[in-house]
Amino acid sequence: MVDDKKISVNDINYAIYKIGNWKNKYEINQIGLSREIPVTKPTVNHIKLSMNEIRKSEFDISKKTVNGFVAIAYQISPKIQEMDLDDVVELEKLEYENILSELDDLELMDDDCEIDLNDENYLIYHLIKECHVTNSIPANEHTKKYYEKEMKRIDDAVMN
């Protein structure tokens, strides 16, 4: 992984989170299903950009054009599949607005701080841009272990 290296919390090549809980409950927005709460401005900006990209994607379901969040949730969640599609679309809009509000209200680290890449108080991902996709790679063993457990928890939550 990494040596004892410090990075600026303003470094746009890293996303930094703490483990916590969102204020609202989310069924569709995968960001809201995670317990990873951003702690830096670049991380919040990255999340907002990612959400906008997913929402800009269009898919046709039951003769209705829906955004990427609705399509993903509808495809993988039995609970969402049982809902009326118009209700799913409305729920996604509500969740999107709630997440934006929560992101805007977060207490973030000071811009001039540095953090050790091996700091186990935070989840740190190295962001690597490949073509039009940004990959989030765990930057240390602590984050890698957490990420593996968290992906399983989210999969289990979505599938049930």
Answer yes or no: is 1 within a domain: no
How far is residue 25's CA from residue 46's CA, in Å, rounded to a whole number?
21
How far is residue 41's CA from residue 8's CA, in Å, rounded to a whole number?
11
Mean pLDDT of 101-123: 94
Is 17 strand, coil or helix?
Answer: strand
Domain enclosing residue 10, as ranges: 6-159
Answer yes or no: is 108 within a domain: yes
For residue 52, name the pLDDT band (cuts at 50, 70, 90).
very high
pLDDT for 3 beyond 80: no
Answer yes or no: is 15 within a domain: yes
113-128: pLDDT as tens digits: 999 999 999 999 999 9
At how many degrees (to 10) do helices 68-76 and 41-56 cross?
A: 80
Answer yes or no: is 123 within a domain: yes
User: Any idea which residue has 């049982």 for tokens?
Assistant: 82
Is 53 strand, coil or helix?
Answer: helix
Answer yes or no: is 71 within a domain: yes
Domain tally, the chain: 1
For residue 130, name the pLDDT band (cuts at 50, 70, 90).
confident
For residue 42, name the pLDDT band (cuts at 50, 70, 90).
very high
